[in-house]
């Protein structure tokens, strides 16, 4: 079920919110758990049993860690292995078989057709953070399986994050309240996220998809640049919009989730970009992979190896395809270069730093968007040498109209530029009467757009 669907906006959300408000606190977690399982089962009923298996596995692991102090490490590694096995089978079995076939020189092994459960990477990482934190003693094992199940399956951030650490919400699961201010702020945040998705990302996506679908022989340099720029802003408004909606929904039900984006396209280095983009994932890898490997404490060479491992895992987390691995290592290479000395140069030249970071991220999205290595090469040539590719039967204006251009300009201004210029005035705008009118207009525009358009996928649902 999509946040940006009519059935969610007009049926699921109102019913769940109203019923939850009238329930006694002791029954709210049970009700929200059932609602979350229904939300997940709406599109893939059979995979709700996979989620239930994950819940039982990790609840049992937490209980064993609390009761068996002598064998804690065995319990921890067994739990990690089982969690990653579930993730690996559903997400990476196809990639493994393709790799083996490539090494063996032919289609020796039939490639399994395994459907990917929506959101499996997100809820698996949440479950892992719970087990690891219990092992470390950073939080107590949750004895009530309903409470832990709600943490793993809570519908606002179940499908595409943010990845919430148990220690950040365990007290809220036990006891929470919904104040008028929190409710108003949650609705406001949800509307902004919905507008990002429906009014910006969806519009840019339609043009970007049509251009990317062209035969490469018809792809001019101008078309390649247009597709890449459109996708750069499409993915930001798609994913940050979902995160805004998740955070807003959480507030409406009494939960406070950490931010997942902080205007990443204003970054002045790739290292800063990863402190601003998908913050919950980058902090997860930092806490549970980079620092345990030794971080930057074991010498320069080991630091670079650790960075390489983290960015390799970041790439493969996003998908079972070589292009995602290449995308992760691409960002890792820039992070290493910045540590080698490029970072000091960037600190002294802000304009150059901004241009470098934006272009590096922009080119990186090509690796993220295109799966075929051959197509990546051909597309990259058109990006880097556009004057060599000028002949096509198609004009850019066959894919991009005035409305798309207008939305693209709004997307550029809204990536943090307007917010920076507004400064302290933005605080006075929050929850004011003019903002109430503005949000009402946005909501009406979103509903109108959804009523007349069936194009509505979320990019990060497939991760």
What DSSP string describes 82-145? HHHHHHHHHHHHHHHHHHHHHHHTS--SPPP--PPPTTHHHHHHHHHHHHHHHHHTSS-----H
| Reported confidence tier of residue 308, pLDDT bands at 50, 70, 90 | very high
**Cβ contacts of residue 248 below 8 Å, gap of 6+?**
185, 186, 187, 188, 189, 190, 191, 192, 193
Q: What is the pLDDT of residue 281?
A: 94
Longest Cα–Cα distance of the chain, Å, equals 71
Buried/exposed 251-264: b ≥16 CB within 10 Å, e otherwise = bbbbbebeebbebb
For 9, the token pair is 């906006």
Per the model's pLDDT, the better-predicted residue between 366 and 92 turns out to be: 366
Q: Give the mean model confidence (pLDDT) for residues 45-60.
A: 92
Predicted pLDDT at 462: 58
Model confidence pLDDT, tens digit, residues 326-337: 999 999 999 999
Average pLDDT of the chain is 90
Specify the pTM. 0.91
The tokens for 288 are 């549970």
The answer to whether the beta carbons of residues 174 and 58 sit under 8 Å apart is: no
In the chain, domain spans: 6-176, 182-457
Coil/strand/helix, residue 7: helix
Model pLDDT, residue 453: 67
What's the gap between Cα 322 and its chain centre? 19
Average pLDDT over residues 115-123: 86
Residue 34's CB is within 10 A of a number of other CB atoms, namely: 15
- Contacts of residue 375, defined as CB under 8 A and 6 or more positions apart, other chains included, come to 216
Q: What is the 3-state secondary structure (H, E, C) of 182-201?
A: HHHHHHHHHHHHHHHHHHHH
pLDDT tier, 219 (very low <50, low <70, confident <90, very high otherwise)? very high
The CA-atom distances, in angstroms, between 419 and each of 17, 427, 429 are: 31, 10, 11
Contact (Cβ atoms closer than 8 angstroms) between residue 275 and residue 344: no
Q: What pLDDT score was predicted for residue 104?
A: 78
CA distances 265 to 205, 234, 413, Å, are 18, 13, 11
Which tens digit of pLDDT belongs to each residue from 163-213? Answer: 999 999 999 998 888 888 899 999 999 999 999 999 999 999 999 999 999
Looking at per-residue confidence, does 463 or 155 come out higher? 155
What the block records as the tokens of 272 is 């800063």
What is the per-residue pLDDT across 436-453, written as a single tens digit (0 to 9) for each? 999 999 999 998 888 876
Lowest mean pLDDT among 9-13, 24-28, 229-233, 417-421: 417-421
pLDDT at res. 460 = 58
Give pLDDT tens digits for 280-306.
999 999 999 999 999 888 888 899 999
Structure tokens at 404: 């798309």
Q: What is the DSSP letter of 43?
A: T
Share of the chain above pLDDT 90, in %: 68
- Of 321, 207, 197, residue with least CA distance to 248: 197
How many Å apart are CA 362 and CA 367, to the nearest integer? 10
In the set 71, 278, 318, 403, the catalytic residue is 318
Q: Which two tokens stand for residue 192?
A: 């902004």
**Are 90 and 117 contacting, i.e. CB atoms less than 8 angstroms apart?**
yes
**pLDDT: is 267 or 429 the higher one?**
267
- 45 has pLDDT over 80: yes
Question: Does pLDDT of 343 surpass 80?
Answer: yes
| Statement: residue 458 has pLDDT above 70 | no
Tokens 């997940």 sit on residue: 40
For residue 447, the tally of other CB atoms under 10 A from its CB is 15
Helix (H) or strand (E) holding 425: helix 425-429
Q: What SS3 class is residue 453?
A: coil
Q: Judge whether residue 1 has pLDDT over 90.
A: no
Burial per residue of 101-117, b for 16 or more beta-carbon CB atoms within 10 angstroms, e otherwise = eeeeeeeeeeeeeeebb
pLDDT of amino acid 8 = 87
> Quick check: 365 pLDDT over 90?
yes
From residue 443, give the alpha-carbon distance in Å to each of 8, 9, 194, 440, 449: 14, 11, 8, 5, 10
* 368 in Cβ contact with 307 (< 8 Å): no
Residue 459 binned pLDDT confidence (cut-offs 50, 70, 90)? low
Owner of token pair 């990546």: 376
Could you tell me the two tokens for 137?
A: 């003693």
Give catalytic status of residue 318 as yes or no: yes
**Stretch 360-386: mean pLDDT, rounded?**
93
Instruction: Name the nearest CA neighbour of 4 among 169, 182, 178, 205.
Output: 205
Tokens 């983290």 sit at which residue?
Answer: 310
């Amino acid at each position: 079920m999509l946040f940006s669907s009519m059935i969610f906006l007009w049926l699921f959300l109102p019913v769940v919110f109203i019923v939850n408000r009238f329930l006694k606190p002791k029954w709210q977690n049970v009700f929200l758990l059932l609602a979350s399982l229904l939300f997940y089962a709406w599109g893939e009923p059979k995979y709700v049993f996979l989620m239930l298996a994950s819940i039982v596995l990790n609840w049992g692991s937490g209980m064993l860690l609390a009761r068996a102090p002598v064998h804690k490490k065995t319990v921890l590694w067994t739990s990690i292995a089982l969690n990653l096995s579930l993730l690996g089978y559903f997400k990476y079995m196809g990639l493994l078989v393709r790799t083996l076939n490539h090494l063996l020189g032919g289609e020796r092994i039939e490639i399994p057709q395994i459907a990917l459960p929506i959101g499996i990477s997100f809820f698996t990482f949440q479950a892992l953070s719970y087990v690891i934190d219990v092992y470390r003693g950073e939080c107590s094992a949750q004895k009530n399986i309903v409470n832990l199940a709600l943490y793993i399956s809570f519908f606002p951030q179940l499908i595409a994050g943010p990845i919430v650490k148990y220690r950040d919400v365990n007290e809220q699961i036990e006891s929470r309240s919904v104040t008028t201010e929190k409710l108003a702020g949650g609705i406001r945040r949800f509307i902004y996220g919905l507008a990002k998705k429906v009014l910006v990302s969806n519009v840019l996506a339609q043009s970007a998809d049509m251009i990317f679908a062209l035969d490469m022989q018809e792809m001019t340099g101008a078309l390649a640049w247009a597709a890449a720029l459109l996708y750069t802003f499409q993915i930001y408004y798609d994913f940050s919009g979902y995160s805004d909606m998740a955070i807003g929904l959480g507030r409406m039900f009494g939960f406070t989730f950490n931010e997942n984006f902080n205007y990443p396209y204003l970054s002045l280095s790739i290292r800063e970009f990863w402190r601003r983009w998908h913050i919950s994932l980058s902090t997860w890898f930092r806490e549970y992979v980079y620092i345990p490997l030794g971080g930057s404490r074991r010498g320069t060479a080991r630091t670079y190896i650790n960075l390489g491992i983290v960015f390799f895992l970041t790439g493969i987390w996003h998908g079972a395809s070589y292009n995602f691995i290449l995308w992760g290592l691409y960002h890792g290479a820039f992070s290493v270069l910045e540590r080698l000395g490029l970072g000091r140069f960037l600190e002294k030249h802000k304009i150059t730093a901004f241009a470098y970071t934006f272009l590096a991220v922009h080119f990186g999205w090509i690796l993220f968007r295109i799966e075929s290595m051959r197509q990546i090469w051909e597309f990259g040539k058109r990006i880097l040498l556009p004057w060599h590719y000028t002949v096509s039967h198609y004009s850019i204006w066959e894919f991009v109209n005035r409305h798309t251009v207008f939305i693209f300009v709004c997307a550029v201004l809204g990536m943090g530029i307007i917010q920076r210029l507004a400064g302290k005035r933005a605080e006075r705008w929050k929850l004011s009467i003019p903002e109430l009118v503005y949000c009402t207009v946005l909501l009406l525009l979103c509903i109108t757009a959804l009523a007349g358009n069936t194009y509505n996928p979320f990019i990060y649902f497939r991760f």
